[in-house]
A and B are shown apart, each in its own frame.
Chain A
Amino acid sequence: MKVLGIETSCDETAVAVKEESRILASVVASQDEVHAPFGGVVPELAGRRHLELILPTLRAALDRAGISPDQADAIAVTSGPGLVVCLLVGLSLARALAYAFRLPLVGVNHLEGHLMAILAEKEIPFPFVGLVVSGGHTSLYIVEGWGRYRLLGQTLDDAAGEAFDKVAKLLGLPYPGGREIDALARTGDPAAVAFPRSLLKDGFKFSFSGLKTAVLRRVEQLRDLDSARADIAASFQEAVVEVLVAKALRAAREFRLPRLVVSGGVAANSRLRENMLAAGQNAGLAVHFPSLGLCTDNAAMIAHAGLERLQRGLADPADLMPRAVWPLSGVRSSHFT
């Protein structure tokens, strides 16, 4: 079965084609030549931009997969959570394709896509601890199976990825700053500044706004930012990584789960990967990260979650509507729940 996946819920316009065991194509407009005609604009969430990019992105994905649209067997689309103006771009295309080629249509929760993204390339047995870290989310779950997610805790203020980008701005690094901090931190001392580790000992909740403010104060006190930049980047990154590692490992220990999956844009951070893998090894815990293209926003994870839902008979009606607010606890696992 070939599933065409469509994602427009956030900043990225993305289309992918996925078979049971293989990703045939995964195109993300901003990382791709389809973006070029619109100039190197800073990604900014806008329905109009999705509208400009969606057809070239679809064409690129179909070309790369070597299929025509009528050769798809189903359409999966992110139907929430997110801004309705953005979701509607993907949904309109999905509904039109499903109608034109008489294909089943399935709506996917964007967060479920991230949490389960690794299963698009690898088999991981359930249950596992799932940590989703991105610009908009920092949440820890127990994943018992498709559609069976238990939220252990989430951020009370800023998401980890947001802290990365805001701190990058304080340090005068270009947007999006997550990658810049990662690179700069390699030349800095992670122990140079003792930044706060908020709520470190406090259950599964996260808080990163105090860290943001601590970096701000530090930068204001400096005479010369240029000579301190790498140390601050490394020390900030260390504070975030330490909290994420501590809480993910605690969840595995407390619930006696032998596996941990980290996903979302921040899962691309090299220090997080390194420290989480090392800590997992020490604790006898299998730690998994999706490959980079499946960490950041993409449509392959949406196609895969759609495929799983279709195999459970969970197709949606042809007039599928967007859901601005849609917590994972509201995702159905079968017709009966």
Chain B
Amino acid sequence: MKDQEEEVHVSESPEDTRELGRELAKRLKPGDVVALEGGLGAGKTLFVQGLAAGLGTDPGIPVTSPSYTLVHEYPGPVPLFHLDFYRLTRKESVLELGVEEYFDGGGVSAVEWAEKFAELFGPETIWVKIERNAEERRRITISTIA
């Protein structure tokens, strides 16, 4: 049986949060899925900006919030698929998005508001939970399977 491993970090600034994303990216390979949870303004998009930088996507293309457009694709040595379930209320819509194709695809998927449809994520998913403690402080828990 595989063990769940939890790392707890404290981020003191937006830059710290980005840096944690960059660090995590070094351990990712195509097909990995990063599920982000944490309320509005927790720093999920910021963390994904770090992931993108760590994966080596084009720094000239800003990593913006996909809440409206639902999916952003960033080409690179390892492509990044940035999804956001914020506006979705029905599981059919999520499936229609083609999440399964993204998850099985040749890149890393990062999903904001993943906890809304937690049942779609397999056991290998890397969960990143961001909690707002103070104005600039965030507690970031990264759970992986050892």
Which A residues fall within an 8 A CB radius of B? 10, 42, 44-48, 81-85, 134-136, 154-159, 161-162, 166, 169-170, 209, 212-213, 216-217, 324-325
Contact = CB atoms under 8 A, between A and B. Distances in A.
B97 A83 contact: yes
Contact of B135 (A209, A217, A324): A217
B73 A216 contact: no
Nearest to B98: A85
A213 B135 CA distance: 9
Interface of B is mostly: loop
Interface of B: 40-41, 45-46, 62, 64-65, 67-71, 73, 87-90, 92-93, 96-98, 135
A44 B96 CA distance: 12
Given A44-B87, A44-B88, A83 B71 contact: yes
Contacts of B96: 46-48, 85
Contacts of B87: 44-45
A44 B64 contact: no
Contacts of A46: 90, 92-93, 96
Given A47-B96, A217-B135, A166 B68 contact: no
A154 B41 contact: no
Given A46-B92, A209-B41, A158 B97 contact: no
Contacts of A166: 40, 67
A159 B89 contact: no
Given A81-B69, A162-B68, 5 more contacts: A44-B88, A44-B93, A157-B46, A157-B64, A162-B67
Most chain A CB inside 10 Å of its own CB: which residue of B65, B93, B98: B65
8 contacts: A44-B88, A44-B93, A46-B90, A84-B98, A136-B68, A157-B65, A159-B65, A216-B40
A161 B64 contact: no
Nearest to A153: B62
